[in-house]
Structure 1
């Protein structure tokens, strides 16, 4: 009992120290013209953005973090530009400490039950890699774990190939899914792991593995992810230090590092910006893993989805200028198919999914995986913004099971769409 008490107080001390930098920081929900909200992306930490309402043209909502030092000047800025705002979190540090307590309780419960990976908490990088290796050992005829590269700090990035034909049947379409490009979006990795589980362990629909080959990267940015657990819960970027100014401002936004209109956004050129694009396209080893996977299977790749959080959206190209690809109708139809399946299982308080062009739904972006994968030839490519419910981007562990299950319904619907068109 004494040891348990000591461990508990050690955990509390760690949690308080880790989150101290956000003491007194507040979250505000903004509503205003899309142009005004979009212009803030390189200046403020926008935790999410989404359409304010479907009936309101060019109006967005955004969740932003304001420190005590800058809060008043930004509130005046919002007033001057007719951006309305309301406070939704009074003390971010306290919210993070509550999250830590919930996760710790869920992990202890999982240990007592003897589970390896469950759907009611979050796991660390090594635990996730061990789980993938265990699946490959248990299902050698279906699962292959690939170890393509190390992250900047030397962590192994793994992905799984799921195939009944060992990727040798060149007639089968390929679906590629990645998660955790943005380190703080913790709920994306459980979704990727649950997709693997449904295809391999539960094998709920054999057609999806008989007719489709899958590549799933559950944790694309392990350095950033570990840093969010140990140091800074809101860290978004990689942890590289290969660019000018990296001593003061390390890391690159992985979803601005792809070679599609890279280097065309002034707000992404600042190394200290949360959306810093990097010193060159594909400068990050983590992003080169995704690039190489896509290029290796480009002839058969039919769908690519990058999991992000949060916003309840399927976003498609072109995000850099708001025009549509030549297959814009098919992109929209497949997106609606997936969104409808998710909405059918969503909780009552969840907003319905929005499907649309990224620039038209939100604002212009460059260097994204969604646009690059469409540009190189994958027909159906999306940024999937998962739900946050009333907890916004900081999804409590007890909501994970709901999100993974409803999202799987959407992924399965999208896969059947792929079967019908490309199979």
Structure 2
């Protein structure tokens, strides 16, 4: 019986209580099966906790885990019936699942504190702890790590990223790999992956070629406002927290991965400020997304590989998302993606789904304004959305899986870096 089927009754164990879980009392989770067109619509107006691409299902349709509130459940179940979307209930109370997560996270954090460790790979950390860790690395390894204070979020939080280089980014013949994480604030496992990549390049060095021959730009927490809000108020919050748009007070936030300058504003599903994938009032309207833009443009001419780390689904997706056509180097994109996926799969748990590699529109659904497509359009040859494993938990990945996910993903990153070195 999976965790989603367990009713948690012992809740007083947590030493720290985070906010917002009570809003999900009585909210149920349903497993649905539907077409590509329908899933794009549902993502705009429902919280999707996980998604399985059609290539991996026996029905040939996309399967997803959705949250339905007691208030709205009736109308959505009727919608499913009207659209011939099959569904079945998985869990009765999302609040209990979130409380169980909370207990496990705090237990692991407490153990790390007792051991005197500032960062471990078996739990999740807050915004300030992440930034403090980056500063700690820069102070300890000044010859290799530079922390860039790249700008302030909408609510005034400093967005930091690291540049990792043995030559202080002064050797313009070295390729640059750019990686960002936590654009969507409910995808908690993405930041540990980014931090682990930094750790493997700087602290637990296995292959010095990766820093001697490559420069790295890594943004581990791109959306700090949304991330902190997801800790304190709403674990399922996806967007930024900006209000500089129509209905901003009632429906704050923008989907950062719809805010890039590639076919921006061409999807009706992203035009509603109250939708989960609202594209924003203008291109690059979000300061958090401008940080990514500026970091990419700073080294554009020598960047062959860009990866945006997201969660969930075990997928490596490439352009073009707006219409399903392929870039001129589509075959190369696919082959490099398969190499990364194969390296990850070699270390995966037996129960894990194997990675699917393919065009984003065909594997999932049509999207516009994504970082993956924008970076490909401005000239980076290899650009991907990397969707991490969620197992049966979607983006509510319990901390017990973090160590596994960061290690297997690192293997894929190494393979991507080796591909860069073999072709640069």
Question: Which of residues 231, 234, 242 is equivalent to 1:232?
Answer: 234
1:127 Cα shift? 0.7
Q: How many Å separate the matches in 1 of 2:156 and 2:374?
A: 26
Q: How many Å separate the matches in 2 of 1:203 and 1:58?
A: 43
Structure 2, unaligned runs of 5 or more: 1-10
- CA 253–55 in structure 1, closer or farther in 2 if over 3 Å, else same: closer
1:71 Cα shift? 1.3
Question: Does the residue aligned with 1:267 lie in a helix, a strand or coil?
Answer: helix
1:412 Cα shift? 0.4
Query: What aligned pairs does 1:349-360 form with structure 2 within 5 A after superposition?
Result: 349-360=351-362
1:39 Cα shift? 2.8
1:346 is aligned to: 348
Contact 1:309/1:386 (CA < 8 Å) preserved in 2?
Answer: yes
Q: How many Å separate the matches in 1 of 2:247 and 2:310?
A: 27
Contact 2:262/2:377 (CA < 8 Å) preserved in 1?
Answer: yes
Question: Does the residue aligned with 1:245 lie in a helix, a strand or coil?
Answer: coil
2:381 is aligned to: 379
1:61 Cα shift? 1.2
Q: How many Å separate the matches in 2 of 1:418 and 1:13?
A: 44
* TM-score (normalizing by structure 1): 0.95
Deviations 1:321-378 (CA, angstroms, capped at 9, x unpaired): 0000000001000100000000000001000000000000011000000000000110
1:129 is aligned to: 131
Question: Which of residues 223, 232, 256 is equivalent to 2:258?
Answer: 256
Contact 2:247/2:273 (CA < 8 Å) preserved in 1?
Answer: yes
2:109 is aligned to: 107
Question: Which of residues 326, 330, 346 is equivalent to 1:328?
Answer: 330
Deviations 1:125-153 (CA, angstroms, capped at 9, x unpaired): 11111110110111111111000101111
Q: How many Å separate the matches in 2 of 1:155 and 1:107?
A: 23
* 1:78 matches 2:80: yes
Q: How many Å separate the matches in 2 of 1:120 and 1:337?
A: 27
- CA 324–408 in structure 1, closer or farther in 2 if over 3 Å, else same: same
Q: How many Å separate the matches in 2 of 1:105 and 1:55?
A: 36
Q: How many Å separate the matches in 2 of 1:241 and 1:411?
A: 36
1:9 Cα shift? 6.0
1:171 is aligned to: 173
Q: How many Å separate the matches in 2 of 1:130 and 1:351?
A: 35
Contact 2:50/2:393 (CA < 8 Å) preserved in 1?
Answer: no
- CA 185–207 in structure 1, closer or farther in 2 if over 3 Å, else same: same
1:86 Cα shift? 2.0
1:34 Cα shift? 1.9
Question: Does the residue aligned with 2:200 lie in a helix, a strand or coil?
Answer: helix
Contact 1:34/1:58 (CA < 8 Å) preserved in 2?
Answer: no
Contact 2:15/2:106 (CA < 8 Å) preserved in 1?
Answer: no
Query: What aligned pairs does 1:177-216 form with structure 2 within 5 A after superposition?
Result: 177-216=179-218
1:313 is aligned to: 315
Question: Does the residue aligned with 2:125 lie in a helix, a strand or coil?
Answer: coil
1:305 Cα shift? 0.5
1:337 is aligned to: 339
1:404 Cα shift? 0.2
Q: How many Å separate the matches in 1 of 2:39 and 2:287?
A: 31
* 1:89 matches 2:85: no
RMSD across aligned C-alpha pairs, in angstroms? 1.6
Structure 1 ranges of 4+ moved more than 6 A: none
2:35 is aligned to: 33
* TM-score (normalizing by structure 2): 0.95
Structure 1, unaligned runs of 5 or more: 1-7
Q: Which range is displaced more, 411-420 or 87-96?
A: 87-96
1:69 Cα shift? 1.4
Deviations 1:110-136 (CA, angstroms, capped at 9, x unpaired): 111111100011111111111101101
1:36 Cα shift? 2.4
Question: Does the residue aligned with 1:299 lie in a helix, a strand or coil?
Answer: helix
2:243 is aligned to: 241
Q: Which range is displaced more, 382-391 or 83-92?
A: 83-92
Q: Which range is displaced more, 392-401 or 348-357?
A: 392-401
Query: What aligned pairs does 1:45-56 form with structure 2 within 5 A after superposition?
Result: 45-54=47-56
- CA 13–20 in structure 1, closer or farther in 2 if over 3 Å, else same: farther
1:5 is aligned to: none
Q: How many Å separate the matches in 1 of 2:319 and 2:55?
A: 21
